[in-house]
Structure 1
């Protein structure tokens, strides 16, 4: 197998596309570089001893490290103590504590972890940026990168065979489509809000889909839906979620987003019984970059700052780099080893050396997390369905079914995907539908699992109400949509529930010719829209008679958007896509 050099940019410039760091961090960085330069000169001149024993008491450094790299870093720290490695003539005593990255990032952002440790080694610069976003957070000073490992898709052998491993290669979008399409494998991964692996993988899918797939929104939504039902709380729980044999139940995952290092560790300790196989996407795998940072460096002593700098230089020396490689990490000063890749489950022609994917920008991270948060949040939706004469028109190719019949079937399918804690209500509308009003409230917005007075559940009552929808009137097809939309928005906003994705979904197949009502609606929405209680409008034009541009203009005032479907059967995927898009803009 051909050997490839590790790309230089995997371990440098780890903050490309990131938020600018605070001024005190920049000053601290300059101080650190000066100290590092001074230490290097002193070492070269023999002023410092790194192997001649300790002078005085040891400098103790507490290092919080990502759980996956903590064993390798602990091995280096233990070796440094045995070999009496020193800084400024004093032994360095690094105590490594494995800590979850997202917990440390949140503690640093809120300023609650300043005294716990002097250095932090997360698995990705994503966490550094999260820690630095709050003005009240604790300063971090970058001190280099310890190792890298690419993010890939790990599959159990039976799934690998179905996907064509190792000969068949995919982009991120193509790989995910294969994993979520017809005859799909059961796809899982770690929560992107708690895992850089999960976040980078999901972000890569979004980026790839937008570049290569004309129906990117549907693919992104399908990926998010699949992951949401099979997500693990942390990286450590991902591999246990995999099927151990072909007889495992439907709950076990067959494919997961995973790092090469995690697959290496699993395959090296599992005895070959359930060795994982890795797909490396052809549009480049993102890599975890393990950035070491001094924590609150201006408050550290000079000895502590220099000791961390010395330990970072030690991590990049040959012996320490061998220890990293033995634990399945790639290093800056070696080739991508055949043994490492094969042990992790990689084989040619999988492009395992193609790990030059640019780290996601801060905006992309926020957008991806916004999408994911909305998927995980419970929904609170008011679904408003057009029952005017326009919805009685037949849908081509549906065997004579009307737009409303196909719309009803799509809404019922969408309801099946909601949990008992999701809240959904139903209105219908047409001009003059209920006396002076153009709308009716058919089912209140309530949790689907809530027991109804008749003894069933709200889901059952809601499904019955959807099934009973029928077109009314035979005139021009006027809809009364604008008055209905304003009434539904006001009610949803007044009953807003914090912590849920509140939205109004309007499905219409006709045009409301009342221009004055449209102007009044837009004026009122501009007054009422409240970012503290966001209730985006999601408008879906069903068929060729609606006016999607006009609906989109109205929806965007609230932070929502308008969509168009030529086939009402696509409503389910469009609704999911719309909700994801709303989350990305929040």
Structure 2
């Protein structure tokens, strides 16, 4: 009989949970109380509101959007609330739960357009709230607390798990995923980190673990990301459809099916309950700790909610964190604070001692780490389309202190080094600018933005670019035609936007605009803002070189497009700044 058959009806009958009480739960309770007070709902702590059996006078309707994995559990809780006539301020609590992918909801809320058709949201991770709040114009989201959690591990078909020594042998993240890079590759699947919290949190943990083991420049993490990308699914649900359907993992006739998946404990729990003995997964919990999904219950556009709606959302939170609510969540494979031992959930998910399932979670990754990982994924996996625009004014002949070379020579070397980091699939172009460089234009297009691996004549586009960078020279007497050039480059980049790629414009200058006949600064900023499109992002990355630049102006110009401005004193730092800026912009665009 399989593990799924031995689940008890009530997890409360299991042994006490040996884990320390989560700080997240304390924060959740405190936050919920603050929300109650802030919304004028102090009555929520009175016995008439907490009475689960009160009769009701009317319905208080709430539309709640939830991540597809937790939506069934929340529906069960909502059904129980209606069946038992649980009330909020005298009205029956009527919660309508709709499943929707968290990344889609986050994108909608981040855009801040229109009024949401729901009052509450339970994504699978707080990282989606971070994504929403990155945009100052986004719809307001307010967290009432976390309703559940689920650690992330690596599930394997029994044949693969046995070859890895499951359950007696334990591994770290880099050891487990590193197996995919050997000649006898383990077919490891993951969900797209740009669309899956599970994929992003696991990749962040991988990158952090690799760095601790000596991967200072990120090359090992990038290599792992590249391998993972070859077996990446668009969503968590699609990922579960890729697992091999027999215990051997080979599934004759379909060798592309995965032998292993990066997934949450709850996803493994549900899979094993659905497929029966033959298709169950065994679950590894990495010994260096697993990140966890944390399922925050969130009020959406709280200022726009009625008092009854705000109170009803908080009321549903009290139900979910009470004993009956925790029991419902645990029966669906989620962990809850104050609930039973995780042993029963882990067993159904494929965990066995001595796998460290009892307290497998690691410290949450910092927001900056998550953004860097997402940017790394973008630049590593998603090919780039970047137009580089380099200042060729006379001041670029000025020497760089201590180097014995001019600004232009050092800039060229740094740009060539940056070029070497891109793959043949990336599209890179080059413009130079000064004043009146090409007739009445301040700029000249040296190499069109094209795929580096394409052949042009006797060489490739990469060869042409290398030669063009090497041949850059300051224009004697040339001034800095920054505004017209920036606008022209951005217009072309937005009009030639390529879907599925990371599109950007990189402008390198060592001075302020010196063309009196150019467009004004205010006009430049307004036109750049009008050209930018959140649905087709083309961030402008502006790099100011040397002491003659205006850092504030550079930042204003870049930020008008959703990009970033940077100032360097040494042109040799341009390569590092470009890559850092691309990673940051990649994180924002996802």
Distance in 2, matches of 1:165 and 1:47, equals 49
1:8 aligns to 2:25 (yes or no): no
Per-residue deviation, 1:48: 7.0
Counterparts of 1:125-524 in structure 2 under 5 Å?
125-214=126-215, 217-244=218-245, 245-246=249-250, 247=252, 249-380=254-385, 418-419=424-425, 422-423=426-427, 446-447=450-451, 462=460, 483-484=470-471, 497=493, 499-500=502-503
Distance in 1, matches of 2:232 and 2:355, equals 26
| Residue aligned with 2:155, SS | strand
Q: Give the 3 Å change call, closer, same or farther, for CA 93–232 of structure 1 in structure 2.
A: same
Offset from partner CA, 1:122-152 (integer Å, 9 cap, x none):
1111111212222222222221211110011
Number of the residue aligned with 2:97: 96
Number of the residue aligned with 1:575: none
Per-residue deviation, 1:312: 0.8
| Residue aligned with 1:330, SS | coil
Counterparts of 1:24-103 in structure 2 under 5 Å?
29=35, 31-32=37-38, 35=41, 37-40=42-45, 42-43=46-47, 46=48, 50-55=52-57, 57-103=58-104
Distance in 1, matches of 2:471 and 2:15, equals 65
Number of the residue aligned with 2:123: 122
TM-score, normalised via structure 1 length: 0.67
Distance in 1, matches of 2:341 and 2:175, equals 25
| Residue aligned with 2:279, SS | coil
Distance in 2, matches of 1:185 and 1:312, equals 42
Q: Give the 3 Å change call, closer, same or farther, for CA 31–108 of structure 1 in structure 2.
A: farther
Q: Is the 8 A contact 1:173 1:209 kept in 2?
A: yes
Offset from partner CA, 1:232-283 (integer Å, 9 cap, x none):
1111111112233413545333222100000110011011222112111112
Per-residue deviation, 1:163: 2.8
Distance in 1, matches of 2:122 and 2:70, equals 8
Structure 2: runs of 5 or more not aligned: 1-13, 389-419, 431-445, 475-480, 495-501, 508-543
Number of the residue aligned with 1:508: none
Offset from partner CA, 1:443-474 (integer Å, 9 cap, x none):
98633786978xxxxxx9649989xx9xxxxx
Number of the residue aligned with 2:400: none
Number of the residue aligned with 1:517: none
Number of the residue aligned with 1:545: none
Distance in 1, matches of 2:165 and 2:374, equals 31
| RMSD (Å) for aligned C-alpha atoms | 4.3
Distance in 1, matches of 2:366 and 2:300, equals 23
Per-residue deviation, 1:214: 4.5
TM-score, normalised via structure 2 length: 0.67
Per-residue deviation, 1:97: 0.7
Offset from partner CA, 1:475-534 (integer Å, 9 cap, x none):
xxxxx99954779xx9x9998856447899xxxxxxxxxxxxxxxx97699799978599
Q: Give the 3 Å change call, closer, same or farther, for CA 418–26 of structure 1 in structure 2.
A: farther
Distance in 1, matches of 2:264 and 2:114, equals 28
Q: Is the 8 A contact 1:188 1:226 kept in 2?
A: no
Distance in 1, matches of 2:113 and 2:386, equals 37
Distance in 2, matches of 1:209 and 1:70, equals 34
Q: Is the 8 A contact 2:32 2:145 kept in 1?
A: no
Number of the residue aligned with 2:439: none
Q: Give the 3 Å change call, closer, same or farther, for CA 482–231 of structure 1 in structure 2.
A: closer
Number of the residue aligned with 1:388: none
Q: Is the 8 A contact 1:503 1:535 kept in 2?
A: no
Q: Is the 8 A contact 1:380 1:501 kept in 2?
A: yes
Per-residue deviation, 1:313: 0.5
Q: Is the 8 A contact 1:11 1:147 kept in 2?
A: no
Number of the residue aligned with 1:583: 583
**Bigger mean CA deviation after superposition, 106-115 or 219-228:** 106-115
Aligned length: 460
Distance in 2, matches of 1:450 and 1:289, equals 46
Q: Is the 8 A contact 2:174 2:209 kept in 1?
A: yes
Structure 1: runs of 5 or more not aligned: 16-24, 384-412, 427-441, 454-459, 470-479, 505-520, 537-551, 562-578
Q: Give the 3 Å change call, closer, same or farther, for CA 12–33 of structure 1 in structure 2.
A: farther
Distance in 2, matches of 1:147 and 1:83, equals 22
Per-residue deviation, 1:47: 7.4
Distance in 1, matches of 2:572 and 2:317, equals 52
Per-residue deviation, 1:339: 2.6
Offset from partner CA, 1:515-560 (integer Å, 9 cap, x none):
xxxxxx9769979997859999xxxxxxxxxxxxxxx954423554
| Residue aligned with 2:225, SS | helix
Q: Give the 3 Å change call, closer, same or farther, for CA 95–224 of structure 1 in structure 2.
A: same
Q: Give the 3 Å change call, closer, same or farther, for CA 443–337 of structure 1 in structure 2.
A: same
Number of the residue aligned with 2:574: 557
Q: Is the 8 A contact 2:454 2:460 kept in 1?
A: no
Counterparts of 1:543-554 in structure 2 under 5 Å?
554=571
Q: Is the 8 A contact 2:272 2:279 kept in 1?
A: yes
Distance in 1, matches of 2:506 and 2:116, equals 43
Per-residue deviation, 1:67: 0.7
Distance in 2, matches of 1:61 and 1:265, equals 27
Distance in 1, matches of 2:75 and 2:378, equals 35
Number of the residue aligned with 2:517: none
Q: Is the 8 A contact 1:149 1:329 kept in 2?
A: yes
| Residue aligned with 2:98, SS | strand
Distance in 2, matches of 1:196 and 1:482, equals 40
Distance in 2, matches of 1:582 and 1:323, equals 44
